[in-house]
Amino acid sequence: MRRREPAPIRWLFATGDPRRLAALRIGLCATLAVRLGRDIFVELADQPSELFRPLSFMRLLPAMPSRGVALTFQIVGIAAAVFATVGLRSRLTLPVAWACGVLLIGMATSLGKVVHNDVLLLLAMVPLLVAPTGDAWSLDALRREPPGSSVRYGWPVRTAALVVAGSYFFTGFAKVVFSGPAWFASDNLRFALYASSDAQSVPNAIGLFVAGRPWLAHAVAAGVLVLELAFLIVLWRPRWAWAFVLGAAVLHLGIWTTMHLDYSAWIATVAVVLLDWPRIVDRLGTGSRPVLA
Amino acid sequence: MGAFLTAFVICGLFGVEAWPLSGFRLFSHVRTVDRATFVAVTVDADGIEDPIPFKRLPAAYRGFGFVARALPSLSPADRLAACRVWADVAELELGRHVAEVRVYRLDITLLPRAGGRAVSQPVRTLAYGCTVDDPDASP
């Protein structure tokens, strides 16, 4: 008798719609193209080596890459990301775009502190590096018969979803490990908002509104922790994806509004990976239905 | 891909930072009413201090706070080198005549507050300083 594989393995390797995988390619590569289009990388390239504080693989370098190297990687990375977005040689262009992104964004995390703003985007793209992302909704697939549902289109999407949900879970988990209940039960969030407001040239009215009301600050902190720890639920209840996408959007927009920290790439990544875009497109009546095996 | 997921989970569970893999320690430590920050000031020939606005400088110099916190763990040569870089950028980007750079630690109490700001004045402690021409630095 054939042994049945464990449920997590069966979940991970279930069949998937090639359009769902293509949606990840389109959304994540477009997001990466936007993120690589910032001028921060060329500015960082001018950094004197005395201020270079590399982390991870950046320790292999003696200093920030030169302006010429940074600009080259930026141009190549953006071009590759755009080509991958439209599905042109995506087996090549997607990994190239990702590699350029890792180096360039690695520069931003070499100032002395781990920078998380683009981590979720880069990690969610890892399963796509070896996946057939261009088999649907792509220039490469224009003259081909649309493929049917297959495991090869399922596991990259589910792996990316696992990474997204896991990232939020581990963010909440770290709060529990390092702070325990004090993270929401103490005045932690109030002080974080006060400190952030004091660092801004004009006091932040929204941050001060929350910080000035202890009950509200505690409620917001508890809500953040619950959202993060509960994120894994979306893997078992994919129909609840809308709620988690909305929750993440509110969380990161709140952080932007009060602390001016840019986590827009996290919002985009969550929405791209967790929402069923083929279903949305079908409902909007603009996409063709796949030929399912 | 199994190796990637394993590494992802291990980093998340044990708080390992192996960028882009991460322990996701974002705002994970409790903030208290007291906080410390650092500020660098240029000193001109008349002894007048002027803070360096790193946020207005190119991104390459915006890691000041992280370097300042690490100053005690740096070698004397590395401390001096970093300090001289800050002096140079203040001259080049801000057009200042710099005789000296001082790094102060500011200990701030966030409460009580008035007018959207903390009421109490920060306690300022000199953490490090360097002169532009003199090869020696203090403290």
User: What are A7-21's pLDDT values in tens digits?
Assistant: 888 888 889 999 999
Q: Are A259 and A200 in contact (CB under 8 A)?
A: no
Q: What pLDDT does A292 receive?
A: 38
Per-residue pLDDT band for A291 (boundaries 50, 70, 90) equals: very low
Per-residue pLDDT band for A113 (boundaries 50, 70, 90) equals: confident
Contacts of B19 in chain A (CB under 8 A): 55-58, 106, 109, 114, 119
A138-189 per-position pLDDT tens digit: 999 998 888 999 999 999 999 999 999 999 999 999 999 999 999 999 999 9
Among A177-181, A267-271, A286-290, B22-26, which stretch is predicted with the lowest mean pLDDT?
A286-290
Q: What angle do CA A269, A270, A273 make, to 5 degrees?
A: 80
Q: Are B26 and A116 in contact (CB under 8 A)?
A: yes
Contacts of B35 in chain A (CB under 8 A): 191, 195
Contact between B19 and A127 using a beta-carbon 8 Å cutoff: no
Residues in CB range of B83: below 8 A, 6 or more apart: B101, B103, B128, B129, B130, B137
Strands B123-131 and B34-43 come out as: unpaired
Angstrom CA distances, A70 to A55, A65, A78, A193, B64, stand at: 17, 6, 12, 35, 22
Which of the 8 DSSP states describes residue A53? B
Percent of chain A with pLDDT over 90: 88
Q: What pLDDT does A2 receive?
A: 54
Percent of chain B with pLDDT over 90: 85
Q: Are A74 and A41 in contact (CB under 8 A)?
A: yes
Q: What pLDDT does A287 receive?
A: 52
Contact between A53 and B70 using a beta-carbon 8 Å cutoff: yes
Q: Are A127 and A160 in contact (CB under 8 A)?
A: yes
pLDDT at residue B135 above 80? no
pLDDT at residue A293 above 60? no
B56-107 per-position pLDDT tens digit: 999 999 899 999 999 999 999 999 999 999 999 999 999 999 999 999 999 9
Helix (H, G, I), strand (E, B) or coil at B138: strand
A174-233 per-position pLDDT tens digit: 999 999 999 999 999 999 999 999 999 999 999 999 999 999 999 999 999 999 999 999
Contacts of B62 in chain A (CB under 8 A): 111
| Listed residue (A183, A208, A219) closest to A259, CA to CA | A208
What whole-number distance in Å separates Cα of residue A34 and Cα of residue B124?
Answer: 41
Angstrom CA distances, A49 to A70, A183, B60, B128, stand at: 15, 37, 10, 20
Q: What pLDDT does B24 receive?
A: 94
Q: What pLDDT does A3 receive?
A: 65
pLDDT at residue B55 above 50? yes
- Is B5 an 8 Å CB contact of chain A? yes
DSSP letters of A136-158?
A: SSSSTTTTSPPP--BHHHHHHHH
Structure tokens at A61: 């370098």
Q: What is the ipTM of this complex?
A: 0.90
Q: Which helix (H) or strand (E) holds B35?
A: strand B34-43
Q: Are B40 and B64 in contact (CB under 8 A)?
A: yes
Contacts of A40 in chain B (CB under 8 A): 59
Residue B47 corresponds to which amino acid?
G
A61-78 per-position pLDDT tens digit: 999 999 999 999 999 999
Residues 89-128 of B with CB under 8 A from A: 108, 110-111, 113, 115-118
User: CA of A109, closest CA in chain B: separation in Å?
Assistant: 8
What whole-number distance in Å separates Cα of residue B139 and Cα of residue B136?
Answer: 10
Q: What pLDDT does A1 receive?
A: 52
Q: Which helix (H) or strand (E) holds A246?
A: helix A241-259
Global pTM value? 0.92
A114-131 per-position pLDDT tens digit: 999 999 999 999 999 999
Residue B127 corresponds to which amino acid?
A
- Is A173 an 8 Å CB contact of chain B? yes
Q: What pLDDT does A146 receive?
A: 80
pLDDT at residue B138 above 80? no
